[in-house]
Structures are given as C-alpha cells and as structure tokens.
Amino acid sequence: MEIKNGKQIYEVGDLVGKNGIYRLFICVQKESGRQCLLQIATSVENNGRLDRMAYLLHNLDKRAGELEKKFRDINPGKELNYNLGFPELVDSFIHTAQAGCRINILAFRCVDDVSSVVPLINITAKDRLCVDLRTSAWIMGKTLKLLSFTQSESIAVNVVNSNNILVVPDNHYVLLFNLTAAEILAEGTPVPMEVRIQEISQAAKAIITVLGGDWKTNFIPNDGDEPFQLYVDCMLERKKDEGNEGVKKYCQEAFALYANFLFRLANGNESDALRAHRDFYEIVDRLWKREYYPFTTKTL
C-alpha cells in the first residue's frame, strides 16, 4: 500500500507495534529509499497526541542542534549527540483516506534498518535474555543523559519504562521513542520534582529488570554469574599489583556501589538527572574504561 503527502510517497509494509494511541508500520520513503516508521493515530481523537509528539520532536531537534553548536565551539572534536536519543520527524500530516487520522513518519538517525532498534522489554520478555553489567552501564548512562537534557528543557517525558527505552545494540544508541504522553512546560519552568523522580525511577527499574534482577527485592545477579566475572577479569588486568583476592574484594565493593545506586534511583531517592548521571559515572569509572564494549547478553 502507498500513502502520499504532497510529492512524498511512502510504501507501507508490516505492522510492527501498536497501543491504544497509535499503530506503527515499517515504511519506505520512495524518493530517498530511506526506511522509516509510519505512526498513525488509532482514531481522530488521538490526533492531538501525535501532533504534540511531532511538535515536540521538532523542538527537541532544534534545541539539540543549538546546544551541539555551542558545545563544539568550546570542545572541538567532541559531540553531545542529544538528537540521537529521539526519533527524527521526517513528515507529519492528516490523511483523509485514513479516516482523517494523523500520520507521523519517523526515522532513526544513522540507522538504516529500523528493525535493529529494540525496546528493552523485548530483550527479557520476548527473547528471554538479560544484559551483562557493562552493557547495562552504557544503557543507563545514556538514558540519564537524555533525561538531563529533557528535564533541563522543561519537558516532562513521563513514560521512561522498558517499553519506551529503545537501544540500537551495535551503535550503542539509546532512545526514548513514545513522546505522546510528554508535556512541554513554559520555557524555564522546572519539571515538577515528583515527575523527575518518577522518570529516573522508571529508568532504573528498567535497567535492573534487563539485568535479570528484581527492583522489588533489590536483587541483581553478581557472584558466580557471568556478568560479575566479566568485570572481575577486567579489574584483574587493571590492578595486577593487588593480587586476585584484593581485586575480587575491590570488585565486590564496586558491585555493591553500582547495585545500590540503581536501587536508590529505583526507590525514588533522586530528583536530578544531571546529578544522577554524574554520580553514576563516578561509580562506572571505577569498574571499566570508557571504550566501546559490545552489546552482551546471556540467557535468563
């Protein structure tokens, strides 16, 4: 099936997701050959939610670009890459042939195959896998970075759960996809504390879950499990002078800091994503070098 908006033609493929507000289809922009997602409201009543998401994506992209330019001027060769954390709005229109429902055409920057973008919920619930500790670190770190951006821009995302945190494993991208519940506050208006706490808490719960843990019982796998052994091996290489037992003790203490920090966030004890991001990496930097680490999973 083809859907047109002016000169743009979109070849619509399979349904890949749906909820009470919209349905998602794979589509291809015929002129460019670019693979995208077609997001269509389930009814005219939900047009406003998709319209708001389109408006929000436009403004996020604009603001991310402004901050990127300022950052590069001060830090040559470095990038913030905030715009990688949200879908790109390619097009948005009302389609009369589809009962007057709003359609958003969405793409992922620097991603050719949209099927490579995976919600965290699919890793555990669908694939029956969990990630290792080092993988969880970059997912959590980048999620906190995104929340520090949105919260500083007076945007309440509201939904930051396992359904709404998406990863591109090979590229190390982390995205917040569904912004239909997001709220844009007046410029300079702080996001309410209870909302900031909730967003950070939801993110931490999602990470604990994808680690194969349980945030309700404060459990994350460690001793004897492959994720724990991976960073013990890493520390043995970095701290040869301390001996195996000294390194294992160091790792146990570092693991406790890491796990307890996630539990503290999950329990609603942090309201500032920027501070959480800084404190999180103080712990992470005790465990691993900042370098590319492949997306690593194990069977639940």
Q: Which residues pair with 25 in a beta bridge?
A: 15, 38
Give which of 103, 113, 104, 108 is closest to 88, Cα–Cα: 108
Burial of residue 32 (CB within 10 Å: 0-12, 13-18, 19+) is exposed
Give CA–CA dist 11/8, Å, rounded: 10
Reply yes or no on whether the pLDDT at 226 is more than 50.
no
Per-residue pLDDT of 259-290, as tens digits, reads 999 999 999 999 999 999 999 999 998 878 78
Q: Classify strands 297-299 and 129-131 as parallel, antiparallel or unpaired.
A: antiparallel
Overall average pLDDT of the 32-53 stretch: 97
Give CA–CA dist 166/273, Å, rounded: 18
> What letters, b where the CB count within 10 A reaches 16 and e where it falls short, cover 98-122?
eeebbbbbbbbeebeebeebbbbbe
Task: Output phi, psi for 15, to 5 deg.
Answer: -70, 130
Place of tokens 């670190």: 137
Overall average pLDDT of the 47-72 stretch: 96
pLDDT tier at 128 (50, 70, 90 boundaries)?
very high
Q: What percent of the chain has pLDDT over 90?
A: 80
Place of tokens 């970095």: 238
pLDDT tier at 103 (50, 70, 90 boundaries)?
very high
Place of tokens 């493929």: 13
Give CA–CA dist 248/300, Å, rounded: 24
Residue 239's pLDDT is 58
Residue 224's pLDDT is 45
Reply yes or no on whether the pLDDT at 222 is more than 90.
no
Residue 197's pLDDT is 98
Place of tokens 């724990």: 228
pLDDT tier at 300 (50, 70, 90 boundaries)?
confident
Reply yes or no on whether the pLDDT at 231 is more than 60.
no
Kindly report the average pLDDT of the chain as a whole number.
Answer: 91
Reply yes or no on whether the pLDDT at 229 is more than 60.
no
Overall average pLDDT of the 188-207 stretch: 98
Cα 7–12–13 angle (5° rounding)?
A: 160
Give which of 268, 246, 136, 149 is closest to 198, Cα–Cα: 268
Task: Output phi, psi for 158, to 5 deg.
Answer: 75, -45
Give CA–CA dist 81/276, Å, rounded: 19
Per-residue pLDDT of 235-250, as tens digits, reads 666 655 556 676 667 7
Q: Any residues with CB less than 8 A from the CB of 229 and at least 6 apart, and which?
A: none
Reply yes or no on whether the pLDDT at 225 is more than 80.
no
Give CA–CA dist 145/173, Å, rounded: 12
Which alpha helices (DSSP H) does the chain contain, by range?
A: 47-74, 120-121, 133-152, 193-210, 226-238, 243-266, 273-287
Question: Collapsing DSSP states into helix, strand and coil, what is residue 238?
Answer: helix
Can you give the pTM of this predicted structure? 0.91
Q: What percent of the chain has pLDDT over 70?
A: 91
Which domains can be identified in the chain, with CATH numbers?
A: 2-115 (3.30.200.20), 118-299 (1.10.510.10)
Residue 252's pLDDT is 74
Residue 238's pLDDT is 61
- CA–CA distances in Å: residue 12 to residues 28, 37, 94, 141: 7, 9, 16, 35
SS3 content of the chain, % helix, strand, coil (to 5): 45, 25, 30
Residue 98's pLDDT is 77
